[in-house]
Amino acid sequence: MNTHTNTVNPWTGRTVLVTGAEGFIGSTLVDLLVARGARVRAFVHYKPYAEKGHLAHHLADPDGPVEMWAGDIRDAGRVSDAVEGCDTVFHLAALIGIPYSYASPGAYVQTNVTGTENMAEACRRHGVRRLVHTSTSEVYGTALTAPIAESHPLQPQSPYSASKIGADMMALSFHHAFELPVTVVRPFNTYGPRQSARAVIPTILAQLHAGAREIRLGSLSPTRDFTYVTDTAEGFLAVAECDRALGEVVNLGTGEEISIGDLARALIAASGRDAQVVVDASRLRPTGSEVHRLLSDNSRARDWAGWTPRVSLTRGLSLTSDWIASNPDLFAPSRYQV
C-alpha cells in the first residue's frame, strides 16, 4: 500500500532539523526542504572558523529559512535544544569512511551509536512527528542474496559498518520500547556534486580533470548500486511522509549495479579524458573486510513511499564530472584520504 501523498506539499511552514547538514547528502536535503517551503535548523559540527561550506548560499539572509545550529551530536543537551519545537528530524550526522574506522573504532561508536541514542531520546522527549535515521548499505556486507532486501542479514565487515548497525538498532529500539515514530533509511552508494574527495567517484574524476593518465584503484571487481544525490534526498522526504515505514527500514537504491572497474571506465568517458585503470595493491581493503557486491531491492521505497529514482547513471556521472571540473580546489587529488 502506498501511503505517500503527492497531491499537496506537506513541507510548507514546517520546522525541520537536519543533522549533518553541511555534508554531501545533508546540504542537498536542506536545499530540497527550502525549495519545498520548510524552515530548516541545520545542525553542524562546531568549528572555530567561519567557513559555512555548502550552506553558505542559505545563510546570507539572517531572516532566511535556514538557521545554523553548531554543536556535537555526542552532546545530549545540545541535541535536545536543537530538536525542541521541530516537526521532523532527519538524522544524517555520523562519522563516515571505512578506512579510518580500522584506526579509531571507538570514535565511530561514540559518534554513530551514542549520537543516535542522544537524538532518539531528544525526539522522544519533545514529541517530534517523525525521526528519519540514516543508515548505510555497508551494514549488509557482501551480498548473500541479491538484490538485497531489508531482511538481508547484517554483516559487520568493518568497524564503521558495525557502528552503523548499532545506530540503526538503537533507533529502532526506541520505536519498539517507546513508540517513537522513527524510520531507518538505508541509502546505497549515493554520489553527485559536493561529495567528499575521499569517495571513489570524485577522486577518480578529480584525477582525470587534473590530467592523470593512470587511475590507481584497489579491487576492480566489487559492484555497487549508485544513486544520484537528488534522488536520495527525494527518498528521504518520501519516507518521512510514509506511515507504513514507521518502525521499519527502507532501502534507497536504483536496483542496478556496476563494477568498480566498469565505473572507472564510465568516468573516463564522462570526463572526456584519456586514461587507463591500474590496480594499486596499497588500496586493497583487508581480507574479509571487502564488500564484494551491493545491489538494492528498493521495493519498499517504491511501493510504500512512491519513490522512484529519476537520474540515470550516465546522466549523473556527467553532471558530477561537470561539477568537479568547475570546482578544482574542492576536489583536488591532494584532498583524497585513504
List the catalytic residues: 160
Residue type, 294: L
Query: Would strands 66-71 and 223-224 be described as parallel, antiparallel, or unpaired?
Result: unpaired
Phi then psi for 88, rounded to 5 degrees? -135, 145
Which residue, among 136, 111, 133, has the nearest Cα to 123 in the 3D structure?
A: 133
Residue 141, C-beta contacts closer than 8 angstroms, at least 6 positions apart = 153, 154, 155, 156, 157, 161, 291
Rg (CA), the chain: 19
> What is the CB neighbour count within 10 angstroms for residue 175?
19
Residue 238, C-beta contacts closer than 8 angstroms, at least 6 positions apart = 4, 301, 305, 306, 307
Give the separation between CA 268 and CA 209, rounded to whole angstroms. Answer: 10
Give the separation between CA 66 and CA 306, rounded to whole angstroms. Answer: 27
